[in-house]
């Protein structure tokens, strides 16, 4: 004989054989065990993401999921399965779980929707409502007349969170749609479940009993998709950011190299002026002969050719190349050094280039030259800033066990930033008035475009930058044998 009530606020019981009782409980346990596996998998996944990115959003998400899962666990009366001693404390654990869930949900919402920057008023309202709701829920055991306030503030908080998602979605934040679909359904399932517990709207059954389980499962899955979508957006944003940093770095280099072009043109133009003045004077007084005129023209032609070569070199250095090609590393290094040699001479900086053999690399030669230029200019600035006596920059192209490497060192006293690896972070610089993007761009190009390695360290004289290309792992580079 089976006697059961329609609603759980009446005492329901089953009189039946053990196998029938087991079948009834087995269905509920199976759903909850499957649900628990899903929750723990999502928690583990987001923990990995948190420790790899240190993004607090994943931590807030984990707190929210743990709180919601604990709430369902205690509301379904599973605590006695662990221990009978704390069974009477179930109402306390339910209240505590609600607090944890709300803290995680509000912090997650504010950060995921970026409310602090885009909706500062809603951000503050969410925090205030969270505080008031938690206070009202904790006060219930001590002031029974305030019992109605907890659910009221809770509903207001839920509505405000959903409105926050709606506002951000209307303003073009597409990921907010995931939030609305996930959190809206989960909150609705909890509300319907609470109404059912009070004997209204729904009759008690397997589906209605597990509404919070289904709601949170949906929430976890859709929010995970939202976080994945956010990662994709951040990756696109980082790509655009790196592109802009590269552009800024190239503009800085253009300024430096334009000065070199001006310097390289100044002397030849002065020489041309002197030649034309001499020709003009001799023509006035008819003292010039044919051989002198031809010699002057020949000399002028050579000067013009040199000026043209300077412009071609400058144009080639910054010309955008879409396709990767196999280029001679030795030639690119020499071209870069030759182009800034006058600037180095003007500052009495000696630059020396040593090499074992000609090396070849597949990729964008201009991006490679940009790396070398950034490192050399960084060393030059440090030597000038510190007023080093007999300043020196040494560049060495050499073979090593797994391929070839380029070593660039100076006698500028070394890098003061600790740990020294931070020198490659964006907007970190060891120079006064520096932008801190040159070395960040250098590492980005070497590691992402050429699959190489770059590291910095100090010796007794100064800083050393070592760039390695592994020829055994890739056919993109090698030595001319």
Q: Using the predicted structure, report yes or no on whether residue 69 has a pLDDT greater than 70.
A: yes
Give domain 2-238's CATH architecture.
Up-down Bundle (1.20)
Compute the distance between CA of residue 447 and CA of residue 453 in angstroms, rounded to an integer.
6
Task: Assign 213 a pLDDT band (cuts: 50, 70, 90).
Answer: confident
Q: Pick left, alpha or beta for residue 320 (phi over 0 → left; psi -120 to 50 → alpha; otherwise beta).
A: beta
Answer whether 113's CB lies under 8 Å from 100's CB. Answer: no
- In angstroms, what CA-CA distances link 361 with 259, 367, 371, 481? 29, 12, 14, 14
Answer whether 368's CB lies under 8 Å from 450's CB. Answer: yes
Q: What is the pLDDT of residues 319-369, one digit of tens each?
A: 555 567 888 888 888 888 877 777 788 788 999 888 877 788 888 887 888
Ranges of each domain in the chain: 2-238, 323-481
Q: Which two tokens stand for residue 328?
A: 């001679």
Q: Which two tokens stand for residue 386?
A: 């510190």
Of 245 and 58, the structure prediction assigns the larger pLDDT to 58
Q: How are strands ordered across the β-sheet holding 359-363?
A: 325-328, 359-363, 477-479
Compute the distance between CA of residue 436 and CA of residue 430 in angstroms, rounded to an integer.
8
Q: Which two tokens stand for residue 234?
A: 């951040």
Percentage of residues in the chain having pLDDT higher than 70? 70
Task: Specify the fold of 323-481.
Answer: Heat Shock Protein 90 (3.30.565)
Q: What is the pLDDT of residues 147-172, one digit of tens each?
A: 677 778 878 888 898 899 899 988 88
Q: Which two tokens stand for residue 115?
A: 């409310």
Domains 2-238 and 323-481 are alike in CATH topology: no
Q: How many helices (H) and strands (E) does the chain have?
A: 14, 10
Average pLDDT, the chain: 76
């Amino acid at each position: 004989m089976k006697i059961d009530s329609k609603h759980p606020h009446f005492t329901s019981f089953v009189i039946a054989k053990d196998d029938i009782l087991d079948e009834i409980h087995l269905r509920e346990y199976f759903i909850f065990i499957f649900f628990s596996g899903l929750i723990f998998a999502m928690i583990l996944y987001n923990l990995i993401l948190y420790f790899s990115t240190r993004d607090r959003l994943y931590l807030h998400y984990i707190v929210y999921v743990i709180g919601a899962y604990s709430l369902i666990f205690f509301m379904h009366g599973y605590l006695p399965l662990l221990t009978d001693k704390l069974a009477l404390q179930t109402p306390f654990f339910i209240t505590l779980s609600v607090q944890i869930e709300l803290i995680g949900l509000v912090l997650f919402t504010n950060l995921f929707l970026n409310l602090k920057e885009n909706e500062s008023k809603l951000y503050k309202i969410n925090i205030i409502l969270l505080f008031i709701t938690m206070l009202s829920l904790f006060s219930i055991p001590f002031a029974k007349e305030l019992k109605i306030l907890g659910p009221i503030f809770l509903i207001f908080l839920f509505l405000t969170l959903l409105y926050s998602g709606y506002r951000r979605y209307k303003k073009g934040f597409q990921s907010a749609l995931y939030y609305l679909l996930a959190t809206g359904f989960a909150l609705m399932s909890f509300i319907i479940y609470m109404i059912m517990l009070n004997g209204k709207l729904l009759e008690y059954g397997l589906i209605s009993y597990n509404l919070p389980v289904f709601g949170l499962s949906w929430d976890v899955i859709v929010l995970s998709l939202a976080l994945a979508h956010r990662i994709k957006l951040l990756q696109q944003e980082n790509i655009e950011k790196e592109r802009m940093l590269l552009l800024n770095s190239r503009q800085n280099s253009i300024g430096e190299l334009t000065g070199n072009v001006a310097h390289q043109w100044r002397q030849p133009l002065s020489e041309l002026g002197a030649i034309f003045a001499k020709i003009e004077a001799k023509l006035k007084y008819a003292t010039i002969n044919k051989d002198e005129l031809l010699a002057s023209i020949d000399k002028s032609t050579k000067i013009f050719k040199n000026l043209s070569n300077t412009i071609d070199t400058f144009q080639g250095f910054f010309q955008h190349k879409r396709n990767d090609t196999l280029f001679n590393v030795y030639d690119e290094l020499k071209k870069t050094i030759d182009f800034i040699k006058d600037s180095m001479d003007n500052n009495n900086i000696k630059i020396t280039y040593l090499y074992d053999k000609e090396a070849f690399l597949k990729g964008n030669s201009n991006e490679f030259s940009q790396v070398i230029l950034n490192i050399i200019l960084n060393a030059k600035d440090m030597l000038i800033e510190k007023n080093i006596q007999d300043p020196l920059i040494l560049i060495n192209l050499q073979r090593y066990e797994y391929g070839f490497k380029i070593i660039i060192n100076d006698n500028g006293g070394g890098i003061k930033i600790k740990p020294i690896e931070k020198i490659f972070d964006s907007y970190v610089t060891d120079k006064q008035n520096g932008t801190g993007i040159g070395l960040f761009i250098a590492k980005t190009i070497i590691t992402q475009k050429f699959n190489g390695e770059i590291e910095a360290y100090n010796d007794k004289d100064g800083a050393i930058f070592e760039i390695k290309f592994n020829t055994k792992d890739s056919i993109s580079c090698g030595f001319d044998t």
